[in-house]
Structure 1
């Protein structure tokens, strides 16, 4: 109660702007915003003729032909903006309760003119439920460093739409089926717009060089999209998609074999859900075919850690992969934006959607921004020097700080690059190579 009260008091005045661009003292080096101004625009897209998971009655016989519908998707796009660009920096959205409207404040300018140049694409996929702004801090941070970032509102999985069915878990089944399809559809549409005269994305984005970031169910989707075919247990999950609709993503099926897209060159998965429910087995996860960075809390109460995210990391044996662990953090490790002030008001539910019992959310955001910047700059931009920010002693607590008076480091210095002395405490970064 004292913690919540102090957070609420700290959210008054200037803090009541619900800023998403916070930088804590002693934040790691690469967490800072880049040199580029940031613009933001909203796209309303429609993926036609998709499986209508909510249109199937799980208690009835399997229909001869599965129903389809046109699937509406709203996408927020952050991008490098032209010097001197201007625009409103307020974001209007909803809290976790799906009812309370709030304003967020960042640095991205609405409808700003884009910068010159062509930039890699990054897709962001939220959890269940979530929305396209849940990781807005990361979206505009990456855009300031020379990326075009497209964050998806996954219909039937947002705060406003995840309870649209009388059968509550039907929207969960929709999430299982549609996450990979949504991700690839948005990739296709962004790629098309990059070649369209009159589009603000024309010439701005190189969709052939794409990274995919997912949180929780978005991480599930990223793994499936990257080649991790689901298990037979997943297809038969009692609260999954009815009538074996998830078989389209089953390992070994023709539909799943055709799913991975060579334009997606790496994935980052925060707390990916599913291994603790046997959504994959080791053989299915071995199908992931791009380098992967996993980010997790060692006390993840939703996706699991030893039997969840860490097990996924071990079993994606086909690729080089890293696991960043926030010791004692839960499922919210590193991904959600800081808690909005309104979520802490009496009678409003869902503040725990943004908080962690141990770690400060903004600090976790800064750490994630640091490592994801290093990872994407290395994987997508080919900046080999950024690998040194990832080549670390596994436990930051074991690193040795050894500095000369002029600030240079002695040969015995092994503390994490980009971190001030002591400020990597409670973090681990572990690696496994393809074949391990």
Structure 2
């Protein structure tokens, strides 16, 4: 079930942080002078629309008592999901470019500003690829908004999901996230497919048969399951996980998991995917990943871990050309979250931490990371979903960016010994590694 919301986002609220701080604009569309080439916004105007979806008859994880005997019949409910849709808009379209979002504290609502126009008229039918975005635990559909509107301007339709029981305002028992994350992704894919085919204003705008998936942290966990990776038998039995074995539907080798992957999803990107660090993945389960995946991680990720976490997922994934982009010394917030809103810079007594730490990295500038992510995700999706062979050159790199040699002719063409990363200006590809899993 799906309905569109025509309620316009309210105008930005002027929030003065101090007499000298000025107004909090909270832009999500910043492009640094050092941004790599493919980070730049595309030529298409962008619209944004809120959608409300309901997935009927889902297992009601929150109503199951893990300490009690397993009920003869598991309770079910109709699961609500809010989705933010970014899309190419018609030339001359207009709309408010500010929107409201809650912070990590779950109580503070702030205004964010980008380029997407609220409820703008969609462009004409063009069969653009569809991309799903899945946030972390907790998170919300706006956490990767910088990436969503950026790729929409280049000819993608993006559906970013608010995962019930996983948002800042609905955060609940972890078992719900473990069981539902991949199911949410696939349900939203099906609803988006219906929306493109129902003869309405979005009919033919995009092609749901040509879909990519982007996930961050727990969204990355879900993306691996959706891509064909099955969880371990041990993780199904964790007392703090899915109650009474409900996670078993995603166990490697189970009939339910074998039937899960959807051929409409052609590729995926996972930022800091969670699970290897706590035994949810092993070589057997990861061998089931059936689509090429780009993994993006910080080498100092203390949540999903790196060597025994994201890197181990990449190393154990199936024999496909999976790639791993590493930000040296980056943490769990590497590249995915939008810049920290000005109002987030305060210590929250109830949470026990500074709210801005949910968005920032101790070493890397967030906008810098966002721009690099926009560059690589654009190259990855254009090659995988648009069959743009020219974008492959941006992914054929020497492993360590620091080792690149800048050697150019006077006419701007590269010399034979030029090995600097394509798309990066001289001296700007620093602190990065890009590795591609060899395929026998």
TM-score greater than 0.5 by the shorter chain: yes
Tell me, in whole angstroms, the C-alpha distance in 1 between the residues paired with 2:298 and 2:127: 35
After superposing the two structures, state which structure 1 stretch, 338-347 or 313-322, moved more.
338-347
Q: Which residue in the other structure is 1:118 paired with?
A: 127
- What residue number does 2:12 align with? none
Residues 97-155 of structure 1: per-residue CA shift (max 9 Å, x gap): 00001000000000101112220000000000000000000000010000000000000
2:366 counterpart of 1:361: yes
Q: Does 1:42 pair with 2:50?
A: yes
Cα deviation, residue 408, structure 1: 2.2
Corresponding position of 2:185: 183
CA 1:330–1:346: 2 relative to 1, 3 Å = closer
Note the aligned Cα RMSD (angstroms).
Answer: 1.4
1:195 aligned residue (194, 197, 201): 197
Counterpart-to-counterpart distance in 2, 1:388 and 1:10: 49
SS in 2 for 1:99: coil
Mark the CA change 1:10 to 1:122 in structure 2 (over 3 Å): closer, same or farther: farther
CA separation in 2, counterparts of 1:255 and 1:118?
31
For residues 390 and 151 of structure 1, what CA distance do their matches in structure 2 show? 25
Change (3 A) 1:258 1:10: farther
Q: Which residue of structure 2 aligns with residue 265 of structure 1?
A: 266
Matched, 1:127 2:136: yes
Query: In structure 2, what is the equivalent of residue 58 of structure 1?
Result: 66
Q: CA deviation at 1:11?
A: 10
Asked if structure 2 preserves the Cα contact closer than 8 Å seen for 1:271 and 1:331, the reply is yes
**Selected match of 2:176 from 174, 177, 181:** 174
Shift of 1:197: 2.0
Q: Which residue of 1 aligns with 2:94?
A: 86
Query: In the TM superposition, what is the alpha-carbon distance from 1:241 to its structure 2 partner?
Result: 1.1
Deviation digits for residues 298-348 of structure 1, max 9, x if unmatched?
A: 000000000000000001123210000000000000000000000014658
Q: How many residues align?
A: 419
Secondary structure in structure 1 of the residue aligned to 2:314: helix
Does the 8 Å CA contact 1:228/1:251 hold for their aligned counterparts? yes
Relative distance call for 1:10 and 1:146 in structure 2 (3 A) is farther
Aligned-partner SS, 1:386: helix
Indicate yes or no: 2:26 matched with 1:18.
yes
Q: Could you tell me which residue of structure 2 aligns to residue 231 of structure 1?
A: 232
2:147 corresponds to which of 123, 138, 143: 138
Give distance in 2, aligned partners of 1:341 and 1:191. 37
Whether 2:200 is the aligned partner of 1:152: answer: no
User: 1:259 and 1:421, CA in 2 relative to 1: closer, same or farther beyond 3 A?
Assistant: same
Using structure 1 for the length normalisation, give the TM-score: 0.94
Query: C-alpha separation between the residues in 1 aligned to 2:21 and 2:382?
Result: 37
Aligned to 1:27: 35
The residue number in structure 1 matching 2:3 is none
Q: Distance in 2 between matches of 1:11 and 1:153?
A: 35
